[in-house]
Structure 1
Amino acid sequence: MSTMKKWFLYAIVLSCLSVVLVACNDKEETAPPATSTELTPEIPEEEEVIVAAVDDEELYQKVVSQLEQVGLTVSEPDEAAIDMFRAESGMVLTINGDALLPLHLYKLDPSDKRLDIVEETGNLPVYIGSKTEQLAVKKVDHFIIYLHKGHPDYDEIMKTIDNI
C-alpha cells in the first residue's frame, strides 16, 4: 500500500475515534451556579395545611368541637385517603396523640348506594388492594366516620359522636 493511502486510512480511523469519544462524553459543560441571593428561593418557616373539606363542611367542625369539649386532644386535620373510601372529601384526626389509629371522616355522595348498606349492616365495603374489606363505621347523614376499635379512647369517642 502506498504511503498516502496509509495516511488517509489513519486519518479516517482517528476521525472516527474522535467522534466516538466526543459522543461518549457524558459530562455537560454548564456554567457554575450563581451564588446570587436573588436566585435563592425563600423557604417559608411553617406552612399551615388547610384541608378544604374542613372549612366547607359543618359536620367536620362539629365533630372536632364535640371531641374537644369532652376533654380529648384533637390534632389539626390531615388529608384522608378518599380513594380508598370512594368519598368526595375527607379528613383524618389524631386523638390524644394516637397517630396509628386516627379518626376518619368522609363525605359520600348522598345518592351512594353504600349508604344503604351502612344503614342496614353498620359496615362499609372498602377496597384495599385487590380485595374488599368490611369496616364497621358510623353514618351521620351522608358522612361516614371510622375509628379502629383498638383505639384506647374508642368508647368515649364513639359516645361523643353518637351525640352529634
Structure 2
Amino acid sequence: MSTMKKWILYAIVLSSLSLVLVACSDEEETAPLEKTPELTPETPEEEEVVVAAVTDEELYQNVVSRLEQAGLTVSEPAEAALDMFKAESGMIVTINGDTLLPLHLYKLNPSDERLGIVEETGTLPVYIGSKTEQLAVKKIDHFIIYLHKGHPDYDKVMKIIDTL
C-alpha cells in the first residue's frame, strides 16, 4: 500500500472519529436537562431496637435498674448470641462504656440440664464454633448472667448480682 493511501485512510478514520465525538457532545448539550430533586439532608430516623427479653422478663429490667442505682452507666440492651448459649432469650448491655466486655443475660429453658451443671460447678458449657468452652456464670432461677472477669467493674457488678 502506498504512503498516500495510508494517509488518506488515516484521515478518513480520524474524521469519522471526530464526527462521532462531535455527535456525542451535541447530544449531551441538546438533551433536556432533568430537574434534579433538591438534596435535603435526611436525618436518619433512630430505630429503637426492642429486645423481646427486656419487655418480657422482670429479671432483665431488675438487673439493669440495680446497676444504674449503683452508679454504673448501662447502655440500651442489644441482641444477645442465643445460639452460643442455646438460650430462649437474652440481651447484652455495656457497662460504663466497655463495649468489648458486655454483661450477658440469658433465659434458659427451666428443664435445661445445664442448669444442674451450673448449680454444681458455677460454669456453663457454651458452644464457640466447633468446640465447647466452660464459662463462669451466675445462676438466678433459670437465668444465666455472664460477665468476663477482665471487666474493670467485675467485682462491683457481681456484688450487685449476688443481691438479686
Query: What is the deviation of 1:102?
Result: 0.2
Equivalence for 2:64:
64
Residue 153 of structure 2 aligns with an amino acid whose one-letter code is: D
TM-score normalised to structure 1 length:
0.74
Query: What is the deviation of 1:105?
Result: 0.2
TM-score normalised to structure 2 length:
0.74
Query: What is the deviation of 1:35?
Result: 8.3
Residues 43 and 140 (structure 1), Cα distance of their counterparts in 2 relative to 1, 3 Å cut: same
Distance 1:101 1:43 in 2: 31
Residues 57 and 36 (structure 1), Cα distance of their counterparts in 2 relative to 1, 3 Å cut: farther
RMSD across aligned positions (CA): 1.7
Equivalence for 1:76:
76
Equivalence for 1:133:
133
Equivalence for 1:111:
111
Matches within 5 A, 1:19-34: none
Distance 1:140 1:86 in 2: 17
Equivalence for 2:159:
159
Query: What is the deviation of 1:54?
Result: 0.2
Residues 107 and 35 (structure 1), Cα distance of their counterparts in 2 relative to 1, 3 Å cut: farther
Q: Is the partner of 1:106 in helix, strand or coil? A: strand
Q: Is the partner of 2:150 in helix, strand or coil? A: coil
Query: What is the deviation of 1:45?
Result: 1.7
Query: What is the deviation of 1:36?
Result: 9.4
Equivalence for 1:13:
none
Query: What is the deviation of 1:44?
Result: 4.8
Matches within 5 A, 1:40-51: 44-51=44-51
Identity %: 80
Query: What is the deviation of 1:81?
Result: 0.3
Gaps of 5+ in 2: 1-33
Query: What is the deviation of 1:162?
Result: 0.5
**Length, aligned pairs only:** 127
Q: Is the partner of 2:101 in helix, strand or coil? A: coil
Distance 1:128 1:120 in 2: 22
Residue 54 of structure 1 aligns with an amino acid whose one-letter code is: V
Residue 103 of structure 1 aligns with an amino acid whose one-letter code is: L
Gaps of 5+ in 1: 1-33
Deviates more, 1:44-53 or 1:144-153: 44-53
1:93-112 Cα shifts (integer Å, max 9, x gaps): 00000000000000000000
Residues 45 and 117 (structure 1), Cα distance of their counterparts in 2 relative to 1, 3 Å cut: same
Distance 1:35 1:63 in 2: 56
Equivalence for 2:52:
52
Residues 35 and 80 (structure 1), Cα distance of their counterparts in 2 relative to 1, 3 Å cut: farther
